[in-house]
Amino acid sequence: MEGSGSGTGRRSWLKDDFTDLVLSWSLEEILMRICTNTSSKLMEARMRRELDLCSGMHSLVGEIPQSFESVDQYLGSYVFPLLEETRAELASALETVYKAPFAEVTSFNELKGDKLQYHVKVDHWRNRKSDGKEPYRTLPGDVVLLSDLKPETVCYLQRVDRTFTFASVTNTVDDETRESGDNCTPSNFKVKTEKHVEVGDGQSNSLYVLFLMNMTTNKRIWNALSMRRNLKIIKKYYARMTRVRNIVTFALSNATVT
């Protein structure tokens, strides 16, 4: 497994879905506060360049205006707050990684024909109950950390000799744990990553998976905001329908006169 997080891939955000975007962030990008201090200027420039949604916006994460010049501007004004909210939740999870639900991986195999997707089996989940919340249960949309050792602090991940990457659960596989009810969580599931993961490179044969957050709701919001990409098609459709309606109305009025 490569050892500097998952931030080296630089895909176009407008062509990838929300999951690919989040998995492309590096550890440094997740831990910084976007557009709140001078150290985030590079992140700001990157987001402005790749999303090109910043006309009329004074900052990436700022006050949303009460009026808008277009639907495109309205939807675009919510993109960066959504990204910042997602980043902040990931950063918070990493800062308390010592109490995150985790399990040791017993099997990790790349899916045939599916690049950057893997079939994962774990022994059993630990730290499933914390802060009075319901016991953790593996679900699609979970963002997890794959690491060669279980980190106790986020500083561990910043060490040059450590290897880790971020992944997202795509679906769980029915197994015997499903028969045990809500007290168990699937130990058999599939994940996608931003880059290729190599296990057993001679340094360590161990691999752990740690739960960070579930971003299903955030992804649904992103998909709703992404309708901006189809605005031109929608506008052309309604313009065409308007012309057809006008033609029909004109024809009917002439028929009535006749």
The H or E element that residue 20 is part of is helix 18-23
Token match 């900052």: residue? 59
| pTM assigned to the model | 0.69
- Rounded (10°) angle between helices 216-225 and 79-95: 160
- Rounded (10°) angle between helices 79-95 and 41-51: 140
What is the rounded distance in angstroms from the CA atom of residue 39 to the CA atom of residue 176? 49
Token match 């901006």: residue? 228
Where residue 131 falls (left for φ over 0; alpha for ψ -120 to 50; beta otherwise) is: left
Q: Are strands 188-193 and 164-172 parallel, antiparallel or unpaired?
A: antiparallel
| Tokens of residue 121, six digits | 């089996």
**Counting Cβ atoms within 10 Å, is residue 218 exposed (0-12), middle (13-18) or buried (19+)?**
buried
- pLDDT by 10s per residue, the chain, length 258: 655 454 444 333 344 478 988 999 988 889 875 434 433 444 555 555 445 433 333 344 456 566 666 666 666 677 888 888 999 999 999 999 999 999 999 999 998 877 889 999 999 899 887 666 788 899 999 999 999 889 888 888 888 677 899 999 999 986 544 545 545 678 899 999 988 887 654 445 789 999 999 999 999 888 887 765 555 555 665 567 677 767 777 777 776 555
Q: What is the CA radius of gyration of the chain?
A: 23
| Number of residues that make up the chain | 258
